[in-house]
Amino acid sequence: MVLFGLGKLFYVILLLINAVAVLSEERFLGRIGFGKNANEAPAFGQEESTAKSKVIKLIGAVQTLLRIPLIGINILVIIYELLLG
């Protein structure tokens, strides 16, 4: 008996990416200190590798790069669910 197959895993990943993509910087991220202005740029030649800075960069990348493909993927999943349920 498989309770958690690949289809369910795909849905969970899709929902998590959707959740990150719709986070509002002014309304939510800024309040908890994860806004883009909270990530102070390191000096020239230095790399900032804190976990917080990596999460801020990941959120920004997801919001920038995956916004348009997510629309298409969500439409396909909705049509699939409507037709094959």
The whole-number pLDDT of residue 55 equals: 78
82 domain residue, yes or no? yes
Asked if the structure places residue 31 within a domain, the reply is yes
Residue 2, domain member (yes or no): no
Distance CA 81, CA 40 (A): 43
User: What is the model's pLDDT at position 78?
Assistant: 93
Residue 68 lies in a domain: yes
Residue segments in the chain with a per-residue pLDDT below the cut of 50: none
Report pLDDT for 63: 82
pLDDT at 80: 92
Domain that holds residue 70: 24-39+48-85
9 in a structural domain: no
User: How confident is the model at residue 83, as a pLDDT?
Assistant: 93
Flag whether 4 is in a domain.
no
20/34 Cα distance (integer angstroms): 12
| Predicted TM-score (pTM) of this structure | 0.68
Is position 8 within any domain? no
Number of domains observed in the structure of the chain:
1
The pLDDT value recorded for residue 73 is 93
